[in-house]
Structure formats: C-alpha cells, structure tokens
Amino acid sequence: MGPEMGGAAEAAVARVEAREVWKSYNGRPVLAGVSVEARGSEIVGIVGPNGSGKTTLLRIIAGLERPDKGRVVVRGRALLVFQENLLLPWKRLRDNIALGLRYRGAPRRVVEERIAWAARLLGIEEHLDKYPGEVSGGTARKAAVARMLVLDPDILLLDEPLAGLDVESRRSLLEAVDAIAHRHGKTVVIVDHILDEVAYYADRVYVLTQPPARVEAEVELRDAPRAERLAIVYEALSRVYRERGRLALPERVERDALPG
Ligand SMILES: Nc1ncnc2c1ncn2[C@@H]1O[C@H](COP(=O)(O)OP(=O)(O)OP(=O)(O)O)[C@@H](O)[C@H]1O
C-alpha cells in the first residue's frame, strides 16, 4: 500500500486494519490470511465458529501477539475487553472500573465523573457499590466494558461480549455499544459467534470460515435497515456457498450451466 494521503481531518480518524494476517500455533494454522478493517465511528462485527481464531485476531490487533505474516495498522489507542471480564472479586464494581484511572494518577474528581458517565451509559449505576460476585453476568460484563471505556480509548475491542448473557443483557449491552460508537465516536470491534445480534447492530460484518480462518464474507450493513441486516448477511453467505457449490460441480455440468 502507498503512503496515506488524506488531510488533517482524515488523519484524526481512528483506524484499525489487519491485512492478510497469518498465525500458527505449534505448526497448526489458526489464521490463514485474514483481512479486516474498522474506522471512525462504527461497529464492526467479526463472527466465526468456536476456535476460528477470533481471540487470536483481537490479541494481534491489540499488540499482545505478533502475526507470523501480514500487516496490522492501528491508528489511535485500542483497548481490549477480555472475554473473562477479569474483575477483581474483592473490589466493588466502582473500584474495579476506577483501577486504570487510579493507576494513571487521575484526580479523584475525574475518576468519579468518568465512572458516573460510563455507568450511566451502560446502565449499571445501581450496582456500582456491589462486588462482582453479587451481580449478574450481564452487569459484570458491562463493568468490564466500563473499566476500559473510562480510559477513553479511540478503539474498543470486545472479545465475545455476548457469551453467556441472556437476551435482555445482550440487547442492553449492544444498545450501549451502539451509543459508544455512534454517539461518542469510538471505533468498536466485536468478535463473537452470535451472528444475529451482531448483524443487527454492526455497520459491517466479517464472517470467518472454520479454522484455519479466512474471511468467508464481508458484508456492508451501514445503510441497511436493521431489521433486514441479518437477512442480508445470510444472502451474502448463500451466494458464497452457492458459488462454492457451483465451482465444485463436475466440469460437464459446469459447462452446461454457462450462459450462451
Ligand atoms: N497461545 C496459544 N498456544 C497454542 N494454541 C493456541 C494459543 N492461543 C490460541 N490457540 C489455539 O488457537 C485456536 C484458536 O483460538 P482462539 O481462542 O483464537 O479462537 P476463538 O475463535 O476465539 O475461539 P472461542 O470461540 O472458542 O473463544 C484454538 O485451537 C486454540 O487452542
């Protein structure tokens, strides 16, 4: 790729791009040339089956691992919310969310303001004085997101944020993510295996293949009505499968099927 052109406004837009990323563990390929991109105020969903390298891809984007091959560009500050939440059980949610800010020496007033803002956005104000063991999985997940959000990242990487949550928790978490991206201007990358809800909220979805992962389909959804987005992704996938099926047909049938 050539040098980035773009003016000053363009230069300020957060961006994350993985291009043809390859990764193997013990000689076994997990990612086999995966390219994804997210920029500006948008939600990008990366959906794939279990073991398809979604976590590995996020860890590479976050700089926690190196790809064997390929290029990763991150413009802006990216923070990863781990699938396991990693809340400290002996600290109240409020203090868990404050951890990074206090570590950075943020003034008390700033810490309190940011916690109040993030808690309101995620709808967990009433739980701030509880311990992680006293709240639902959905509230704990939201607290884990809040803990990163208060650090004001440009890019938020969410590793399977919907895993283990009930329908209402998934909906309310994704509503908050929607506000984080579209009202507060963050770039959000969600990896998950639940296509339905991710498609409903995402501006673009990448569907990964079974491992070793490649991008099976990349589907733009930004301008599509939400209620139609899942169908649009399924249509795109059907096209891919049909195409593959067609290519797999014997040569004779293949020729017969050609127009003219
Ligand atoms: N550090 C590592 N060392 C060896 N193998 C690893 C390592 N990290 C991941 N793997 C393997 O790579 C594969 C992909 O793992 P990864 O966690 O990235 O997939 P995933 O799509 O996030 O899966 P899941 O949906 O189950 O969380 C798995 O088979 C996993 O065992």
Q: How confident is the model at residue 85 (pLDDT cuts 50, 70, 90)?
A: confident
Q: What distance in angstroms lies between residue 42's CA and the mean position of ligand 1's atoms?
A: 26
Regarding the domain delimited by 13-223, which CATH topology (the fold level of the hierarchy) does it fall under?
Rossmann fold (3.40.50)
- The residues spanned by each domain of the chain are 13-223
Ligand 1 in reach of 30 Cβ (< 6 A): yes
The 10s digit of each residue's pLDDT in 10-39 is: 557 999 999 999 999 999 999 999 999 999
The enclosing H or E element of 34 equals: strand 28-39
From 30, 34, 36, 61, the mutation candidate for ligand 1 (largest count of ligand atoms within 8 A of CB) is 30
Reported pTM: 0.89
Residue nearest to atom 6 of ligand 1 (CA): 25
Q: State how far the Cα of 138 lies from the Cα of 141, in Å rounded to an integer.
A: 5
Q: What is the pLDDT of residues 87-99, one digit of tens each?
A: 999 999 999 999 9
Higher pLDDT, 257 or 17: 17
Cα dihedral value 146, 150, 151, 155, nearest 10: 60
Kindly state if the Cβ of 55 falls inside 6 Å of ligand 1.
yes
Place of tokens 């249509």: 235
Mean pLDDT of 202-218: 93
Secondary structure of residue 149 in the 3-state scheme: helix
